[in-house]
Structure 1
Amino acid sequence: MKIITIGSSIITALLFFSTMICGFWIKNNKVTDASSIKFHMNSAIITGAFLVISIVLLIMYVKK
């Protein structure tokens, strides 16, 4: 359980940082391509899902 929690947390952190870096790049370069924005919105949604999974796993691990 501990390895799954750590793995999920690492994936969440990597997704979060890559989404933030790409988001700032899009903002600074004034990108208006719909496919690029859609890709990063999907990335943000996946990051949110992994965040929820990580929090649930952490709560389960702490209560155990």
Structure 2
Amino acid sequence: MVSLFDILGPTMVGPSSSHTAGACRLGLIARAVAGGTPDRVRIQLHGSFAATGEGHGTHRAIVGG
């Protein structure tokens, strides 16, 4: 069974945008793939994430995920 929270995503502070909710989800997935919280990461944004990332808080959302 799929949880409502799996569909809606995390509760977030900041702009309501796929650039924050989606980025947070990507951060959560990356942490799960890495097997925990890494000491360091390098994040490179592409496309619309790169164009509007800082203004939408994408970088903070990825780290928050």
Q: Verify same fold: TM over 0.5.
A: no
Which has a greater percent of helix?
Answer: 1
Indicate the structure (1 or 2) with the bigger Cα radius of gyration. 1
Q: TM-score, normalised by structure 1?
A: 0.36
Q: Which has the higher contact order (CA 8 A, sep 6+)?
A: 1
